[in-house]
Amino acid sequence: MQPHRFPALRRARPALLLFIAIKALCLAVLFLWAQLAGRDAYQLLSARWDSLWYVRVVEQGYDFTLTAPDGRVLSDMAFFPLLPWLEEGLSAITPLGPADAGVLISAIASLAAAWGIFRVVDHLYGERAALFTVAVWAALPVAIVQSMAYSESLFTALAAWALYAVLRANWLLAGVLAALAGLTRPVGLAVAAALWVAAIVSWRTSDDRPRRVAGMVLAPLGAAGYVLWVGQQTGSFFGYLDVQKAWGNGFDGGVAFAQFIGERLSSPAFPAGVGLLVGVALVGWLYAKGVRQGQPAPLLTYCAIVVALALCSSGFFGSKPRLLMPAFPLLIPLGLALARARTRVAWSVVLAAAAVAAVYGAFWLHGSGPP
């Protein structure tokens, strides 16, 4: 087939090439850092923290538990099934093991996510804004997670393309993608909520109600189905919440996170507390900026739920930056600002952000990392 038969891909090509270049820089720095530190960089990407739990799901099914030092019983039912299903399927048809399959899936999914983000932003604000939004997403300080055997890249890809389908009123496709997102992470319900909001808001002006209703029915089935299955396996309707509670996770409206920040502000770790406050304020400012710039209701709904679940839940607070990664609508104001800036200024910012992401990502994975 001739290249001109793929105009959408051709339009996104510069953004995707830029995304690949930034990812390559981040990986190059990571591997160089690991060599100097005597570590295995690939193992940092494929076989640590959550990636190990996904492999256990593949190898042992949802029948693995681990007793923590404090006596808590941790179950692999905390991890949604789509990524391990894909790892298992890819391992069955290739020589790759589950962990290796997870890295490959993440690499492909991150590129699909970048393309989906481009399509959403291009549809709303044009090609230049889309290019820079993709660049910012690629150069987030914790963007190295996009290259790990984690589910963030897969979820973001499904969410971005589902939101694009919603914006194009392709209700059936949006419903299927939302259901798959719901099988990837619990925050998949944010995608379903975005579809529902769009469908309800435009209900009176549409003559496509059967497809709209079908999409609305499909959208929550992934997340709801898995949660109900866990409840059936545990013998409790609230079984999934019980599993998460054992992991120390739960929605408390941000109380635990506020206490965490307060403890740092009143300790020698005061600079870290200030940094966290600045980060939370920046998230709030970017969301408000998106509202003022007229982002569509589906994007605002999706983004609000992702941010709320990330910031207002208890659990390991070091994971919050990666939990915010799927909230790409927060980056659209930055993409628009760079698109309007002078070319030299815009590209200087992108290069600086990419360098910071590369260095911080390597430092992060060699330290506390993204549990």
The predicted model gives 215-236 an average pLDDT of 95
Question: Could you please report the per-residue DSSP string of 135-146?
Answer: HHHHT-TTGGGG
Q: What is the mean pLDDT of the chain?
A: 92
Give 276-292 pLDDT, tens digit per residue: 899 999 999 999 999 99
* Global confidence as pTM: 0.94
What amino acid is encoded at 243 in this protein? V
Give the pair of three-digit tokens for residue 85: 């299903």
- Looking at per-residue pLDDT, the higher value among 368 and 166 belongs to 166
pLDDT tens across 317-358, in order? 778 889 999 999 999 999 999 999 999 999 999 999 999 999
Dihedral sign for Cα 176, 181, 186, 189, please: negative
Q: Which residue has the tokens 């820079």?
A: 132
| Extents of the domains making up the chain | 13-365
Asked which of 9-18, 96-105, 218-227, 246-255 is least confident by mean pLDDT, the reply is 246-255
Q: How many residues in total does the chain contain?
A: 371
Residue 3 has pLDDT above 60, yes or no: no
CA dist., res. 321 & res. 333, Å (int)? 19
C-beta neighbour count of 87 within 10 angstroms = 27
**pLDDT tens digits, residue range 117-163?**
999 999 999 999 999 999 999 999 999 999 999 999 999 999 999 99
Determine the straight-line distance between the first and last CA of the chain, rounded to whole angstroms: 43
pLDDT band at 5 (very low <50, low <70, confident <90, very high): low
Considering only residues 97 and 7, tell me which one the structure prediction assigns the higher pLDDT. Answer: 97
